[in-house]
Chains A and B, each alone.
Chain A
Amino acid sequence: MSLRISLLAIFLSVNLLFGEAPSVQQVQPLFIKGKEAYDQDQFTQAADHYEAIIATGTYAPEVFYNLGNTYFRLGKFGLAILNYKRSQYLAPLDSSTEANIRFAQKQAGAIIPNRSVFEKSFSLLTRKQWLTSVIMMYWIGCACLAAYFLLGRPPWLRKLILSSGFIFTLSGFGLAGNAFFNAKPEAVILENGDALFAPLEDSEKHFTLPAGSIVRVTEESGGWMQVQSGKEKGWIPQKSCEKVSEW
């Protein structure tokens, strides 16, 4: 009886923590409709379906990816790259997304920031994934330590403790590195535009940002954002770009 109750409790907790939202049933038909519209070259309708999914608050990397493809086919490279980047934000290891981003950026003539090996490595997992890995290793490490003391310190458990400690440290570094490199949020330029020297309408143009360019937001003031592209910093109206991590 107690085993049944325990299993039920575990099932409920896991479902509560990782389970799917109740609105999944509503969005799945929209996803299928979006794909059908896309296959029939009805890209505007396809985009509407995918946008409707996101509007419900339910999302998946696949939705953003497909929306990116749809906008690409509509010739809206800025929105295409933005949605590819969002898909990549949720699933950093997806090679199709990376390939499509590169292709779309090439097509749009967008500015592609050079990312260092460290930045790429720390971005292999999302911040949440790094954190989950840290916590998982913490639990495993503690369990191993507990077993080690309870079982009279068997040598084979030492290796397991060291391994989990190593992965824990590595994940900790990953988490810290990810936080460091993403301290300035990424944003995508939606339409071709100019970055100005100051957040004023009549300020002089500093440099040009083609649609689809990926920039880092360094400051926000009123309706303006200071963005960094390479080593240059300039001000753009907030409406001309969207942050990758906010939708």
Chain B
Amino acid sequence: MNDSLKFSMLIPLLIATICTAADIKVDFEIEPSAIRQNESATATFTVHGAINPPRPALDEVLKDFDVQSLGTKRVSYNGYPTYSYSYRLRARKKGEFTIGPFLYRYKNQEIEVPFKKLKVVGIGEKTGLEITNSELLFATIETSKTNLVTQEYFDFDVVLYWRQVSLSGDVSIIDYQTPGLQFGQFRGTRTTEQQVNGNTYFVSRFRNKVKALAKGTYTIAPTVSVSILVSRRNSIFRDTKTLKIAVEPTLIDIVAPPESNRPNSFRGAVGKYQFNAQVSPLEMNEGTPITIRMQLSGSGNLDSALPPEITDEGTFKIYDSRLTEDRLNESKTEGRRLFEQVIEPRTPDIKEIPALEFSYYDPENAQYRTIRRGPFPIIITPMTNQVAREIGPMIVNNPAQKEIFGEYIEYLKPLPDHWKNEAQSFWLKSPLSVGVQVLPAVFAIFCFMHGRRKESLVGDIEKARRLEAPKVARAAVRRAQAAQKEGDISIFYEAASEALNGYLANKLNIGAGEVSMPLMRTRIDPEKHGNLLNQLEAFTIECETQRFSPEGLAASSPVELQEKLDQLTTILKACERIKT
């Protein structure tokens, strides 16, 4: 072995030695270091400089958490492989948890991984990681109003400003829920640029519509959770870091709509409303119900606004009103609602439906407003010689079938036509019914095969006749049997001859008149079936003799005829074995 060959063999050995000797490095990070109970933290275990390192055994270390693996990332930088294993941690209870230290084993090495701390606070509590008033990243609240009346909606925006930092895109508003206020969903707008104190900031606005529910003074102190990208030291890669930005709280003062000058028809509507009403029919027979259609539209607390109430029970029989159309925007602050109210005049003397009044509180102008529609003149024709019929709720054709509670609940169902019983299992569960399911497929397969056979016989007359031969023979043999029992020798021999001739004609695909012994000897191999041919000839001659002899039929006893019949059957069976 020459020197160069020895050297080339040493190189891989040397590389392998260097590789195994090289120390690996591990990092263990938990981000963020404090979370709320409804949030999760990400634990990342990174191994540098190892080839296919095993997953760290973290079951014992993370026993206080619900752990979900987020997968493995492999990157190679400057020829060194780096494996990162990420886990999502969700705490089961509050507290300060120390995670680690623990040992990580790779081949023969044992690396001690230092502990990390993770603080878990309750939902709504501050984690202590919130930052405020950073010049590079801050958030503010903008509200359309701070003094409101109950049921009033207002715009609530959280505006995020940042510069010289990169946001990863994950921004969420948390801790905004406040008693006495009803928040909708925050909706982010497109990022814009804005000059603030001479600096250009990126600005994202998160909009919400908030409803004032109860009077009082409330502090809204939301937190903005943002993920920013942080560069790694000596690396082109960047990590994500979650920051919590505390926003300067805002005070909201809510009062009830004023008692003074409150109209009787005020039913809680706050905003700017339009109201319209239509009555139909205006001319009717006594006992006919009248439908009043009322439309509320505009902006405000439309989701809880109610139409005017008709309370004149003495003059009209009044049914509950119901909502027939509800076209509101997503935040339920604008749109229209249609209501239907059915009333029935109690007497034909009524000349009008009184005016309908809808009142709402206008917070912009701090005053009540009332919209009046009607009165609506009506003409009722009295019913003569018969009693005015009783009218049920007119929402359905059959008044007995439905009733309305407040708005919508429908009446009881009638006695069912069909009942079910627990003891009656589903019909398909019984083994019999499962077994029966095989039948259609079997039947279809049978029909398919039968159809195929039929089709093949249509194009193959020889085969069809061959298959027909035993049937023809059987029919004739049956006739011969009958004749034998009756002692009718003439019919017996005629049937026996027909059985033989019919069978052979079909079997050999020749005409019935063509059956003759010379032809048989050419079609049936005499070497193989010589004995059969002799029997056949003898039986044919006997039949012919009996049928056509000038001396007439020789008397034969039933026993003799039976012998002949057996002989015929034996010949036919032997013929079946002939291959044509």
- List of B residues within 8 angstroms of A72 by Cβ: 405, 409
**CB-CB under 8 A for A60 and B416, given A103-B409, A198-B92:** yes
Q: Which of B407, B411, B418, B423 contacts A57 (CB 8 A)?
A: B423
Smallest CB–CB gap between B78 and chain A, Å?
41
Most buried by A among B37, B38, B92, B416: B416
Q: Which listed segment binds B: A112-120, A142-150, A178-186, A214-222?
A: A142-150
Smallest CB–CB gap between B562 and chain A, Å?
36
- List of B residues within 8 angstroms of A147 by Cβ: 447
Q: Which of A21, A62, A90, A100 contacts B415 (CB 8 A)?
A: A62
A138 touches B440 (CB 8 A): yes
**CB-CB under 8 A for A66 and B413, given A131-B428, A149-B447:** yes
Query: Size of chain A's interface in residues, with CB distance under 8 A?
Result: 55
Smallest CB–CB gap between B426 and chain A, Å?
6
Interface string of A20-32 (1 = CB under 8 A from B): 1101100110011
Q: Which of B90, B424, B428, B452 contacts A135 (CB 8 A)?
A: B428
Q: Does A224 contact B (CB under 8 A)?
A: no
- List of A residues within 8 angstroms of B416 by Cβ: 31, 60-63
For residue A128, which residue of chain B has the nearest CB?
A: B426
Interface string of B55-73 (1 = CB under 8 A from A): 0000000000000000000
Q: Does B441 contact A (CB under 8 A)?
A: yes
A99 touches B440 (CB 8 A): no
B94 touches A150 (CB 8 A): no
A152 to B450, CA, bound (A): 10
Q: Is the interface of B mostly helix, strand, loop or mixed?
A: loop
For residue B122, which residue of chain A has the nearest CB?
A: A204
Q: Which of A103, A149, A152, A204 contacts B92 (CB 8 A)?
A: A204
Q: Which of B408, B412, B433 contacts A38 (CB 8 A)?
A: B412
For residue A69, which residue of chain B has the nearest CB?
A: B412
Q: Does B7 contact A (CB under 8 A)?
A: no
- List of B residues within 8 angstroms of A90 by Cβ: 420
A145 to B413, CA, bound (A): 43
**CB-CB under 8 A for A100 and B421, given A62-B414, A135-B437, A149-B451:** no
Smallest CB–CB gap between B345 and chain A, Å?
26
A146 touches B443 (CB 8 A): yes
For residue B91, which residue of chain A has the nearest CB?
A: A197
**CB-CB under 8 A for A65 and B443, given A198-B92, A203-B92:** no
A207 to B437, CA, bound (A): 49
A142 to B448, CA, bound (A): 11
User: Which A residues between 52 and 102 are near B, CB-CB below 8 angstroms?
Assistant: 57-63, 65-66, 69, 72-73, 90, 96, 99-100, 102
A21 touches B408 (CB 8 A): no
Q: Does B559 contact A (CB under 8 A)?
A: no
Q: Does B444 contact A (CB under 8 A)?
A: yes
- List of B residues within 8 angstroms of A99 by Cβ: 408-410
B444 touches A145 (CB 8 A): yes
A148 to B452, CA, bound (A): 11
Q: Does B548 contact A (CB under 8 A)?
A: no
A72 to B451, CA, bound (A): 63
B450 touches A21 (CB 8 A): no
- List of A residues within 8 angstroms of B427 by Cβ: 17-18
- List of A residues within 8 angstroms of B452 by Cβ: 149
Smallest CB–CB gap between B23 and chain A, Å?
41
Q: Does B93 contact A (CB under 8 A)?
A: yes
- List of B residues within 8 angstroms of A60 by Cβ: 416, 418-420
- List of B residues within 8 angstroms of A142 by Cβ: 440-441, 443-444
A20 touches B419 (CB 8 A): yes
For residue A232, which residue of chain B has the nearest CB?
A: B38
A143 touches B412 (CB 8 A): no
Smallest CB–CB gap between A246 and chain B, Å?
11
For residue A16, which residue of chain B has the nearest CB?
A: B427
Q: Which of B122, B410, B418, B426 contacts A96 (CB 8 A)?
A: B410
Q: Which of B405, B415, B454 contacts A32 (CB 8 A)?
A: B415
For residue A146, which residue of chain B has the nearest CB?
A: B447
Q: Does B460 contact A (CB under 8 A)?
A: no
**CB-CB under 8 A for A197 and B37, given A66-B412, A69-B409, A145-B447:** yes
Q: Is the interface of A mostly helix, strand, loop or mixed?
A: helix
Interface string of B112-140 (1 = CB under 8 A from A): 00000000001100000000000000000
Q: Does B422 contact A (CB under 8 A)?
A: yes
- List of A residues within 8 angstroms of B428 by Cβ: 131-132, 135
Most buried by A among B409, B412, B443: B412
Smallest CB–CB gap between B569 and chain A, Å?
34
B448 touches A149 (CB 8 A): yes
**CB-CB under 8 A for A197 and B443, given A58-B419, A99-B408, A104-B409:** no
User: Which A residues between 147 and 183 are near B, CB-CB below 8 angstroms?
Assistant: 147-150, 152-153
**CB-CB under 8 A for A143 and B440, given A21-B419, A38-B412, A60-B418:** yes
User: Which A residues between 117 and 144 are near B, CB-CB below 8 angstroms?
Assistant: 128, 131-132, 135, 138-139, 141-143
Q: Does A206 contact B (CB under 8 A)?
A: yes
- List of A residues within 8 angstroms of B423 by Cβ: 21, 57
Smallest CB–CB gap between B468 and chain A, Å?
20
A38 to B412, CA, bound (A): 9
B92 touches A35 (CB 8 A): no
User: Which B residues between 164 and 178 are near A, CB-CB below 8 angstroms?
Assistant: none
For residue A149, which residue of chain B has the nearest CB?
A: B451
User: Which B residues between 11 and 68 are near A, CB-CB below 8 angstroms?
Assistant: 37-38
A100 touches B410 (CB 8 A): yes
A58 touches B38 (CB 8 A): no
A96 to B413, CA, bound (A): 9
**CB-CB under 8 A for A58 and B409, given A28-B415, A146-B447:** no
For residue B120, which residue of chain A has the nearest CB?
A: A204
- List of B residues within 8 angstroms of A24 by Cβ: 419
A21 touches B92 (CB 8 A): no
Q: Which of A31, A102, A128, A149 contacts B450 (CB 8 A)?
A: A149
B419 touches A197 (CB 8 A): no
For residue B427, which residue of chain A has the nearest CB?
A: A17
B407 touches A21 (CB 8 A): no
For residue B37, which residue of chain A has the nearest CB?
A: A204
A35 touches B412 (CB 8 A): yes
For residue B422, which residue of chain A has the nearest CB?
A: A57
- List of B residues within 8 angstroms of A35 by Cβ: 412
For residue B426, which residue of chain A has the nearest CB?
A: A128
- List of B residues within 8 angstroms of A21 by Cβ: 419-421, 423-424
Smallest CB–CB gap between A39 and chain B, Å?
8
- List of B residues within 8 angstroms of A131 by Cβ: 428
Smallest CB–CB gap between A85 and chain B, Å?
15
- 12 more contacts with CB within 8 A, not counting A58-B420, A204-B92, are A20-B418, A21-B424, A28-B415, A60-B416, A66-B412, A66-B413, A99-B409, A99-B410, A147-B447, A197-B90, A205-B123, A207-B38
Q: Give A residues with C-beta under 8 Å from B.
A: 17-18, 20-21, 23-24, 27-28, 31-32, 35, 38, 57-63, 65-66, 69, 72-73, 90, 96, 99-100, 102-104, 128, 131-132, 135, 138-139, 141-143, 145-150, 152-153, 197-198, 203-207
15 sampled A-B residue pairs with Cβ under 8 A? A17-B433, A32-B415, A57-B423, A60-B418, A61-B416, A62-B414, A65-B413, A73-B405, A142-B443, A143-B440, A149-B448, A150-B447, A197-B90, A204-B93, A206-B38
Across the A-B interface, the 9 shortest Cβ-Cβ residue pairs: A21-B421, A142-B440, A149-B451, A60-B416, A62-B413, A57-B422, A146-B447, A103-B408, A149-B447
